[in-house]
Chain A
């Protein structure tokens, strides 16, 4: 939702993402208030907090999918990759069709070779003709994350529980994708309860429990 997105253009270099004095309410419940942090290029922010504290809401705010009750979300205008809690894969499509649709939607290469390469990186190339509805939860997550394997831009990644349902091999692969993205100057904001290799990726923690 481009109209809620605040793009900053000034003489000072802006970080890929900065939030200032952010507050979010769901119904009568205040999830967080006074939240402020920046994510520089090549760095990762790890959103932490108890269940229901607003991690998904924060990521949706950062993506511009919802409007904050207070404060601002500032983005420097670089490309955005958002993978939400839901995988955005229609069960009636085949794995290859579903991934190709997402790539095409976001203006990325979506040829058969690109799709095969992306699926191969997450170990799903053998299931490219299978219907999405026949996949396990972990396999669906792998297909959704396969988008990241084709990214070669220093974009801003917003990932909601990306390690959810992944096995050890998938977790290792995702950590490698994240590391490669940070090394090319990309920025990452993710929420995760498990799986993140903090030693490898050196994330800055944002604990939402402190902003309730």
Chain B
């Protein structure tokens, strides 16, 4: 089963390498959107430091939504999804592998880039590791939730808008906890509770989102 997961995961990475511009879009959006805030609000370090964690997390959330409409759409159109569902536990494996590939391509680059952009927003250097850690725990949850949204809206018109409406409310706790973790460090407190809750959310999403996405995929193929 792990071999099959790896086959599906590596295929998605290979396909992303064939469409490099699309694959880089979340990272480019993240960088550009965050960079615009100092220009729009002004270079006042104290202001930027206050809004920085929220800006970074909101931009990360929106960046992770960008490529969700294409998560399953291509495979549904060309018949690959049918082949995946014919394999024992194929729906679960496809959902898990695609969420993992989505995180690798959309979430992981944000984790790496966020500390650099945090410097741009004058976030305390002591809070930057926590920023990266909160994104490391939070962005996989966003990919898992996004996977459910993409599967539920598969084949529907206006799928992109529906995904946003479905996923954003579910992502609000991640956003609040992620921002809160960085702000806690900035306020001289521990971020342990926030990070623990982000970890708990990740475990919950991993256990519940994959079966939910798998069930939605089966319905979509019918």
Is the beta-carbon distance between A63 and B86 smaller than 8 angstroms? Answer: yes
Instruction: Specify which of A64, A67, A86 is in contact with B79 (CB 8 Å cutoff).
Output: A86
Determine whether B165 belongs to the interface, using a CB cutoff of 8 Å to chain A.
no
Is the beta-carbon distance between A90 and B87 smaller than 8 angstroms? Answer: no
Q: Which residues of B contact A67 (CB under 8 A)?
A: 222
8 A Cβ contacts from A55-75 to B? 60, 63-67
Provide a sorted-by-A list of 26 A–B residue pairs whose CB atoms are within 8 angstroms.
A1-B86, A63-B82, A63-B86, A65-B221, A66-B221, A84-B82, A85-B79, A86-B82, A87-B79, A88-B79, A88-B83, A89-B79, A89-B80, A90-B15, A90-B75, A91-B78, A92-B18, A92-B19, A93-B14, A97-B14, A105-B4, A105-B7, A105-B84, A106-B83, A106-B86, A106-B87
Is the beta-carbon distance between A90 and B86 smaller than 8 angstroms? Answer: no
Number of interface residues of A (CB under 8 A): 27
Interface of A is mostly: loop
Q: Which residues of B contact A65 (CB under 8 A)?
A: 82, 85-86, 221-222
Q: Which residue from chain B places its CB closest to the CB of A67 in the assembled complex?
A: B222
Determine whether A2 belongs to the interface, using a CB cutoff of 8 Å to chain B.
yes
Is the beta-carbon distance between B222 and A90 smaller than 8 angstroms? Answer: no
Give the A-B pair count, Cβ closer than 8 A: 69
Contact with A along B59-94 (1 / 0, CB 8 A): 000000000000000110111101111111101000
Per the bound structure, the CA–CA distance linking A66 and B217 in Å amounts to 11
Per the bound structure, the CA–CA distance linking A65 and B78 in Å amounts to 15
Per the bound structure, the CA–CA distance linking A101 and B80 in Å amounts to 10
Determine whether A37 belongs to the interface, using a CB cutoff of 8 Å to chain B.
no
Instruction: Specify which of A60, A82, A90, A102 is in contact with B74 (CB 8 Å cutoff).
Output: A90
Number of interface residues of B (CB under 8 A): 26
Shortest Cβ gap from A176 to chain B (Å): 24
Instruction: Specify which of A85, A92, A106 is in contact with B15 (CB 8 Å cutoff).
Output: A92
Q: Which residue from chain B places its CB closest to the CB of A101 in the assembled complex?
A: B11
Q: Which of B75, B84, B85 has its CB near the most chain A CB atoms (within 10 A)? A: B85
Shortest Cβ gap from A161 to chain B (Å): 12
9 extra interface residue pairs, beta carbon distance < 8 Å, beyond A84-B82, A92-B19: A1-B218, A65-B85, A65-B86, A82-B83, A86-B78, A92-B15, A93-B14, A93-B18, A101-B11
Determine whether A80 belongs to the interface, using a CB cutoff of 8 Å to chain B.
yes
8 A Cβ contacts from A82-124 to B? 82, 84-93, 97, 101-102, 104-107
Per the bound structure, the CA–CA distance linking A88 and B221 in Å amounts to 13
Shortest Cβ gap from B163 to chain A (Å): 22
Is the beta-carbon distance between A86 and B77 smaller than 8 angstroms? Answer: yes
Per the bound structure, the CA–CA distance linking A104 and B87 in Å amounts to 11
Is the beta-carbon distance between A64 and B221 smaller than 8 angstroms? Answer: no
Q: Which residue from chain A places its CB closest to the CB of B19 in the assembled complex?
A: A92
Shortest Cβ gap from A2 to chain B (Å): 5
Q: Which residues of B contact A87 (CB under 8 A)?
A: 78-79
Q: Which of B18, B78, B86, B88 has its CB near the most chain A CB atoms (within 10 A)? A: B86
Per the bound structure, the CA–CA distance linking A165 and B194 in Å amounts to 58
